[in-house]
């Protein structure tokens, strides 16, 4: 039985569904939350072992969601892979300061995602500053 569970948080249904499909290919049960409010609702039902988090979302952005996760004792330890089409140093500083473990530039390929997940599972997927 697969116990590795992931939550994909992205306001783009297409992107979220694509990422969830990639996670399933590498052995995760993947749930999707189409935006930050849906993600917070999902946390109350079940806590994942990995989170893929879009940074650029309307309303509450991914940095705020990451801060929320790190403040909650139930999710403070859950690895977060942040993702965005933007990768300016200032934005990356905000992402890592909020507590993300690593960052992937969009669009994310299956190979890149798999490498990031493996690094996190091995404990080497730490934020590089």
CATH architecture of 5-121: 3-Layer(aba) Sandwich (3.40)
Tokens of 100: 């993300």
Q: How many CA atoms lie within 13 A of 5 on its CB side?
A: 11
Q: What is the spatial distance between Cα 36 and Cα 106, in angstroms, rounded to a whole number? A: 18
Q: How many CA atoms lie within 13 A of 121 on its CB side?
A: 13
Q: Convert the pLDDT of each residue in 3-55 to its tens digit.
A: 799 999 999 999 999 999 999 999 999 999 999 889 888 877 788 999 999 99
What values do phi and psi take at 111, rounded to 5?
-60, -45
Q: What residue segments make up the domains of the chain, in order of their start? A: 5-121
Confidence class for position 126, pLDDT limits 50, 70, 90: low
Asked if 122 contacts 101 with a C-beta cutoff of 8 angstroms, the reply is no
Q: What is the spatial distance between Cα 11 and Cα 121, in angstroms, rounded to a whole number? A: 26
Give pTM, 2 decimals: 0.92
């Amino acid at each position: 039985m697969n116990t590795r569970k992931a939550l994909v948080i992205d306001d783009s249904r297409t992107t979220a569904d694509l990422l969830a499909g990639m996670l399933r290919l590498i052995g995760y049960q993947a749930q999707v939350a189409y935006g930050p409010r849906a993600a917070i609702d999902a946390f109350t039902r079940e806590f994942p072992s990995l989170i893929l988090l879009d940074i650029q979302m309307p309303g509450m952005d991914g940095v705020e969601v990451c801060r929320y996760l790190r403040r909650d004792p139930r999710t403070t330890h859950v690895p977060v892979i942040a993702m965005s089409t933007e990768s300016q140093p200032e934005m990356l500083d905000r992402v890592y300061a909020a507590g993300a473990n690593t960052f992937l530039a969009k669009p994310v390929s299956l190979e890149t995602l798999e490498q990031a997940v493996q690094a996190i599972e091995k404990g080497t997927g730490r934020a590089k500053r």
